[in-house]
Copies of this chain bind each other. A is one copy, B any other.
Amino acid sequence: MIFLDPDKRVDLATAASHIGDGALLALGGGLSSRLPMALVRELVRQGRTGLHVVGSAHSMDVDLLVAAGALSICEESYVGFEQDLGLAPAYRRAAESGTITLRESCCVTILTQLRAAEMGLPFLPVRGIKGTDMRRLHPEYAETTCPFTGEVLVAVPPLIPDAALIHAPLGDLHGNLYLDKPYVLDERFAGASRAVIATVDRIVSTDELVEYGITIPAHYVQAVAEVPFGAHPASSYPNYAYDRDHMGVYVKAASKPESAAQYIEEWVMLPDGEDGYRAKLGEESLQRLTTWSESTETWKGLFA
């Protein structure tokens, strides 16, 4: 959809209030980069339930939603913490005990479904899938025969998220967003979704934003909230690197239901929300993540 209000600035609570229980959400960024963590934490604070998430390879955003009991259906292509921190603890536990519905998908399939939505088409063919077991997870897929070659391909329906949650390093009051590559699926999410709900580390003037370059234009964006370190502990380059230590703290806590609940109590359910979160992390620890550009040694040192 298209949003024409000249000023889209709202606070985080208002931004998150656009998301209802059971919403189909596209999660921006991926792995350790530009995860919409502030929005995820706010949705947990507001007690959202029954969420259905779609996207490519994600980590703590999905796992935290699972740990908080906010998520019902997971349609990401991967959820985990790579080789470094391993499997996603809460996600794994919920999947193995059947408390969430698994609709694991594949990058090209998701991309194709988003393209169908973006192109206004009721289906698109996709190459691959045949020969794998992915259709066991997706009984909704169908088949289509190429009218030119006779080849039978898998057909997929459009995927129209209710909202795309996107964190950007910079934005303006109209909702224009600058992203640093990789954009992952965020541009496609913007075109396919009913709305983009954005957080940005910093709101700047449109002139300054144009200097950086606009990746996602304002007309896709329903609301933009300025939340410094809004992707933490994921990265938001060029502003800050990811906080490997804090990711480790989370993964350790999430390994058991009790300590996961304690993490959420301690780091998410703070009465003063994101201000409290940043205060608890401490100025020094956050500033350290911004020093990546000083030298290779400094950058490397963040991950040692």
Measured CB to CB, the residues of A under 8 A from B are: 112, 119-125, 127, 142-144, 146-149, 151, 153, 155, 157, 213
Contact = CB atoms under 8 A, between A and B. Distances in A.
Nearest to A145: B144
Nearest to A150: B122
Contacts of A123: 125, 146-149
B148 A122 contact: yes
B155 A147 contact: yes
Given A142-B147, A148-B142, A120 B124 contact: no
Contacts of A112: 119
Contacts of A213: 213
Contact of A121 (B120, B121, B153): B153
Contact of A122 (B119, B124, B142, B146): B146
A120 B111 CA distance: 14
Contact of A143 (B125, B147, B149, B151): B147
Contacts of A125: 121-124
25 contacts: A112-B119, A120-B127, A121-B125, A121-B127, A121-B153, A122-B125, A122-B148, A122-B149, A122-B151, A122-B153, A123-B125, A123-B147, A123-B148, A123-B149, A124-B124, A124-B125, A142-B147, A142-B148, A143-B147, A144-B144, A146-B155, A147-B155, A148-B155, A148-B157, A213-B213
Contacts of A143: 147
Main secondary structure of the interface of A (DSSP, over half): loop
A106 to B, nearest CB: 14
Contacts of A121: 125, 127, 153
A146 B116 CA distance: 12
Nearest to A123: B146
A115 to B, nearest CB: 8
Given A121-B153, A122-B125, 7 more contacts: A121-B127, A122-B153, A123-B125, A123-B148, A124-B124, A142-B148, A213-B213
Contacts of A157: 148
Contacts of A155: 146-148
A144 B146 CA distance: 8
A20 B39 CA distance: 56
Contacts of A142: 147-148
Nearest to A157: B148
Contacts of A151: 122
